[in-house]
């Protein structure tokens, strides 16, 4: 082959090699990730959005993980495919977790953020409710839970620092009321955390004109079983808030040992505690709760059946409603009264007893229909109230409460079901408990739980139902202040029941304080129809306290209350002596529970009893007898003592016209007092 042919061959071969040559190796893929934010603090149950930037590839998808687990876990928090992190319900053992985004294009490339999980911030403002006259000052304090930074921004009606119209507040929380009454006499003082401006606590300030300040007698008639001269002077000296604090701190009036008391002694002690107990606010609360969580001698015929119930009401009067629910539920006396004791899991044709489960919801916690926070009924499409529970709920709740028996008497051996014995709570018997799964009010209890787990789970479901707050608020307002509170009043108290200002639900002390210091309660010029009829017990005790009665012997006339429609501790049914939903028969639609037993006969019996007792030597009316020679002075003194200065001109005139017919000064004093004490102005607590 000639040389030029050889050269041509190699040149052509080179062209072929270049044509068929493999491409050069691609440069390594460089993927870069960045995550934001790099660090976050997230409260339990809250969310945090993480964003990731992916460069160096068209595949921008990432894999999200928490502590190495794709998608996270309930213990450390979960994260969506879009980077939305949700913190766990509780702070884990290691409160710092790591959120990682890993490139799908290159699994070796990732970016990590640090998450610190903490309990939610809460701000509590104290005191939560204040009555303040115009121009006066009040120091507030704020506590920020969940943060070391306690700094807050103080506002009045959502204005930082307040204003001249609604009052001002300093950076240290010193509120100064305005000099003139604003359009709304209720202002809100709030404290907002600088750590999280969505977290705040608040307090209510009720403003009063000094010239028309609150009436101590009226306040005492709402907080006690009747004003006395000594208490009136004391309250006027120390103020409403201080008086409530004193009452909350007082020890309980005692009851007899459960196993030694007689029935008459139990009735006497209950009545005397109401009449003479220093802890008057507690006694007023016990009386209110006894008409809500009813037990009665009509079935619980022995004293040892009633004393445990009374003691539970007394020690929980200022406690938490959830605690009261549990203690009453497993109380042996209530177990007997409403048939929960020895209710066992279904067997054959025998089912669990449903009596207590039904009354727990209907009478003690929820009512019959779904409620709004202001106590009004929620309505369906046909404008009808919506039932709050079904028969299925009753049945399921009764199953959750099976397996409880009487406590074992000292020295005896526990049995599968014990015989009647009442001191102490009922005892659990797991073998008699239904362990199937249950659904109550739309909430589930898993199968195979212990008897205590089902009890507490069921009570938690009921206690946390939204009906409980307005239901309890309405019942207690009617017991202390007025039978027909405004929807706004109910909603304010229901809000306190749901949160006492420190994140606690069911705080009865906070609820009672809010009821008694609410502007509607403290308005000394209430609208027509405001107030509540005193029951026979309240009416007569208020009279005795006003005249300084004293009883040195065991009470001998408790039986007379039967003729007045209120046998002491002996209500005819679980609804009590009267229905809490009874309306006045005049067509007004107003509620008046106590009017159900205020028949003409009962009214006469009340009046006769008061007249008879006016001549007893344990009533001290000498101060009024000494004034009887001056009708104006006598009427003025009676007005201040019994009505707090609210006597109408018409009543004053009728008393003045009746006095000349009386034979002597004592008779004049008795006649004047009798006319006032049996009048609507005294019988109705306004």
Beta-carbon contacts of 522 under 8 Å, excluding residues fewer than 6 positions away, are 131, 206, 208, 214, 219, 240
Q: How far apart are CA 624 and CA 672, in angstroms?
A: 9
pLDDT digits (tens, 9 = 90+) for 591-623: 999 999 999 999 999 999 999 888 777 778 899
* Percent of the residues in the chain that have a pLDDT greater than 90, as a whole number: 79
Q: Are residues 398 and 489 in the same domain?
A: no
Please check the confidence at residue 388 and state whether its pLDDT lies above 70.
Answer: yes
Confidence check: pLDDT of 228 > 90: yes
Q: Which helix (H) or strand (E) holds 191?
A: strand 186-193
Does 285 share its domain with 154?
no
CATH number at residue 203: 2.60.40.60
Task: Say whether pLDDT at 27 is over 60.
Answer: no
553 assigned to some structural domain: yes
pLDDT at 9 over 60: no
3-class DSSP state for residue 180? coil
Task: At 452, list the tokens.
Answer: 């205590």
Whole-number pLDDT of residue 257: 82
pLDDT at 231 > cutoff 90 = yes
| pLDDT value of position 8 | 45
Residue 665 has pLDDT above 80, yes or no: yes
Of 193-197, 331-335, 548-552, the poorest mean pLDDT is in 548-552
CA distance linking residue 71 with residue 92, whole number of Å: 17
Q: Which helix (H) or strand (E) holds 124?
A: strand 122-126
CA–CA gap between residue 532 and residue 522 (Å, rounded) = 15
Question: Would you say residue 528 lies in a domain?
Answer: no
Distance CA 189, CA 209 (A): 19
CA 41 to the chain's CA centroid: 32
Mean pLDDT of the region 651-668? 93
Question: Which helix or strand (DSSP H or E) is residue 353 part of?
Answer: none
Q: What are the pLDDT digits (tens) for 421-430?
A: 999 999 999 9
Same domain, yes or no: 350 and 452: yes
The answer on 279 and 201 residing in a single domain is no
Its sign, for the CA torsion 428, 325, 461, 357, is positive
Domain co-membership, 618 together with 552? yes
* 238-285 residue pLDDT tens: 889 899 999 999 999 999 887 778 898 899 899 999 999 999 999 999
| pLDDT (tens digit per residue) in 497-530 | 999 999 999 999 999 999 999 999 998 889 989 9
Q: What is the DSSP letter of 430?
A: G
Same domain as 236, residue 154: no
| Better pLDDT: 239 or 319 | 319
Omega into 240 within 30° of 0, i.e. cis? Answer: no
51-55 and 32-36: which strand pairing?
antiparallel
What is the average pLDDT value for the chain, to the nearest integer? Answer: 91
Our count of domains for the chain comes to: 6
The residue-averaged pLDDT of 18-23 equals 42
Copy the structure tokens of residue 471: 């239901």
Same domain, 573 and 652: yes
- How are beta strands 200-208 and 186-193 bridged, if at all? antiparallel
Per-residue pLDDT, averaged over 133-159, amounts to 92
Task: Label residue 618 left, alpha or beta by phi (over 0 means left) and psi (-120 to 50 means alpha).
Answer: alpha
Residue 13 lies in a domain: no
Domain end (from 419, 436, 463):
463
Confidence band for 6, pLDDT divided at 50, 70 and 90: very low
Distance from C-alpha of 546 to C-alpha of 620, rounded to nearest angstrom: 10
Res 168 pLDDT > 50: yes
Question: pLDDT > 70: what percent of the chain?
Answer: 94
Of 251, 286, 318, the last residue of a domain is: 318
How long is the chain?
686
Write the DSSP assignment of 627-642 as a string of letters: TTTSHHHHHHHHIIII
Residues 132 and 84 in one domain: no
Q: Which two tokens stand for residue 248?
A: 């909350």
Dist. CA 674–CA 624, nearest whole Å: 12
Helix 303-315 to helix 280-290 angle (10° resolution) is 120
Q: Which of 522, 551, 567 is the last residue of a domain?
A: 522
Lowest mean pLDDT among 15-24, 144-153, 244-253, 352-361: 15-24
Q: What is the pLDDT at residue 12?
A: 43
What the block records as the tokens of 171 is 């950076």
Cα radius of gyration (the chain): 35
Phi, psi of 533 (to 5 degrees): -75, 130
Do 518 and 540 belong to one domain? no
pLDDT category of residue 480 using cuts at 50, 70 and 90? very high
**Cβ(563)–Cβ(602) below 8 Å:** yes
pLDDT value, residue 210: 59
For residue 302, what are its two tokens?
């022995």
Q: How far apart are CA 378 and CA 501, in angstroms?
A: 27
Contacts of 51 (CB under 8 A, 6+ apart): 35, 36, 83
Region 571-584 average pLDDT: 95
Cα separation, 535 vs 683, whole angstroms: 8
Q: How confident is the model at residue 20 (pLDDT cuts 50, 70, 90)?
A: very low
Residue 506, judged by CB atoms within 10 A of its CB (0-12, 13-18, 19+), counts as: buried
Is 162 contained in some domain?
yes
Return the pLDDT at 66. Answer: 98
**97 near 118, Cβ under 8 Å?**
no
Average pLDDT over residues 306-330: 98
CATH for 107: 2.60.40.10
In a domain, 196, yes or no: yes
Is the bond preceding 127 in cis, omega lying within 30 degrees of 0? yes
Q: Is residue 86 a part of any domain in this protein?
A: yes
Q: Rounded to whole angstroms, how far apart are CA atoms 429 and 182?
A: 61
Indicate whether 160 and 254 sit together in one domain: no
List the helix and strand counts (H, then E) for the chain.
23, 28
Q: Are residues 537 and 675 in the same domain?
A: yes
Q: Could you list the residue range(s) of the whole structural domain that residue 484 is in? A: 468-522
> Does residue 325 lie in a domain region?
no
Residues 561 and 588 in one domain: yes
For tokens 């009226």, the residue is 218
Q: Let me know if residue 459 belongs to a domain.
A: yes
């Amino acid at each position: 082959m000639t040389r030029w042919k050889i050269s041509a061959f190699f040149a052509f071969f080179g062209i072929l090699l270049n044509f068929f040559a493999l491409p050069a190796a691609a440069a390594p893929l460089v993927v870069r990730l960045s995550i934001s934010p790099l660090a976050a603090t997230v409260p339990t149950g809250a969310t945090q959005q993480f964003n990731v930037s992916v460069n160096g590839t068209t595949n921008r998808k990432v894999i999200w993980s928490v502590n190495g687990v794709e998608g996270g876990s309930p213990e450390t928090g979960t994260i969506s495919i879009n980077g939305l992190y949700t913190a766990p319900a509780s702070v884990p053992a290691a409160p710092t977790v790591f959120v990682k985004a890993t490139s799908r294009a290159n699994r070796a490339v990732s970016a990590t953020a640090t998450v610190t999980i903490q309990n939610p911030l809460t701000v509590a403002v104290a005191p939560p409710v204040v009555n303040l006259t115009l121009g006066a000052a009040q120091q507030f304090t704020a506590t920020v839970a969940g943060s070391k930074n306690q700094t807050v921004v103080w506002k009045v009606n959502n204005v930082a620092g307040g204003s001249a119209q609604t009052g001002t507040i300093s950076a240290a929380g010193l509120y100064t009321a305005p000099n003139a009454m604003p359009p709304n006499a209720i202002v809100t003082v709030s404290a907002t955390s600088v750590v999280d401006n969505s977290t705040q606590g608040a307090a209510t300030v009720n403003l009063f004109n000094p010239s028309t300040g609150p009436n101590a007698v009226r306040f005492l008639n709402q907080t006690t079983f009747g004003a006395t001269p000594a208490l009136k002077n004391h309250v006027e000296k120390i103020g409403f808030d201080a008086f409530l604090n004193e009452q909350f701190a007082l020890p309980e009036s005692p009851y007899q040992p459960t196993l030694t008391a007689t029935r008459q002694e139990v009735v006497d002690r209950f009545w005397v505690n109401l009449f003479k107990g220093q802890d008057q606010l507690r006694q007023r609360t016990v009386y209110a709760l006894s008409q809500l969580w009813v037990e009665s001698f009509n079935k619980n015929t022995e004293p040892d059946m009633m004393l445990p119930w009374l003691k539970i009401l007394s020690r929980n009067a200022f406690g938490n409603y959830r605690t009261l629910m549990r203690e009453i539920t497993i109380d042996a006396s209530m177990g007997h009264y409403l048939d929960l004791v020895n209710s066992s899991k279904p067997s054959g044709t025998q089912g669990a007893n449903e009596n207590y489960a039904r009354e727990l919801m209907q009478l003690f916690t929820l009512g019959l229909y779904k409620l709004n926070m202001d106590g009004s009924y929620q309505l369906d499409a046909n404008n009808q109230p919506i039932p709050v529970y079904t028969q299925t709920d009753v049945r399921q709740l009764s199953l959750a409460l099976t397996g409880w028996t009487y406590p074992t008497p000292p020295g005896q051996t526990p049995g599968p079901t014990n015989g009647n014995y009442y001191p102490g709570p009922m005892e659990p018997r797991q073998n008699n408990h239904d362990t199937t799964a249950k659904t109550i009010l739309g909430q589930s209890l898993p199968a195979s739980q212990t008897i205590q787990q089902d009890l507490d789970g069921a009570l938690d479901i009921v206690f946390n139902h939204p009906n409980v707050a307005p239901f309890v608020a309405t019942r207690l307002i009617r017991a202390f202040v007025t039978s027909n509170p405004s929807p706004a009043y109910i909603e304010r108290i229901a809000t306190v029941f749901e949160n006492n200002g420190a994140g606690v639900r069911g705080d009865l002390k906070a609820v009672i304080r809010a009821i008694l210091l609410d502007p509607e309660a403290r308005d000394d010029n209430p609208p027509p129809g405001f107030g509540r009829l005193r029951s026979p017990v309240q009416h007569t005790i208020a009279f005795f306290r006003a005249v300084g009665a004293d009883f040195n012997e065991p009470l001998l006339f408790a039986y007379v209350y039967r003729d007045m429609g209120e046998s002491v501790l002996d209500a005819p049914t679980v609804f009590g002596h009267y229905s809490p939903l009874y309306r006045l028969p005049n067509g007004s639609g107003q509620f008046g529970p106590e009017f159900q037993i205020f028949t003409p006969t009962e009214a006469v019996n009340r009046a006769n009893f008061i007249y008879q007792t006016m001549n007893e030597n344990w009533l001290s009316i000498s101060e009024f007898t000494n004034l009887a020679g001056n009708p104006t002075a006598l009427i003025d003194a009676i007005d201040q003592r019994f009505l707090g200065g609210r006597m109408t001109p018409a009543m004053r005139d009728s008393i003045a016209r009746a006095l000349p017919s009386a034979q002597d000064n004592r008779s004049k004093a008795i006649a004047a007092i009798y006319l006032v004490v049996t009048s609507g102005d005294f019988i109705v607590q306004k």
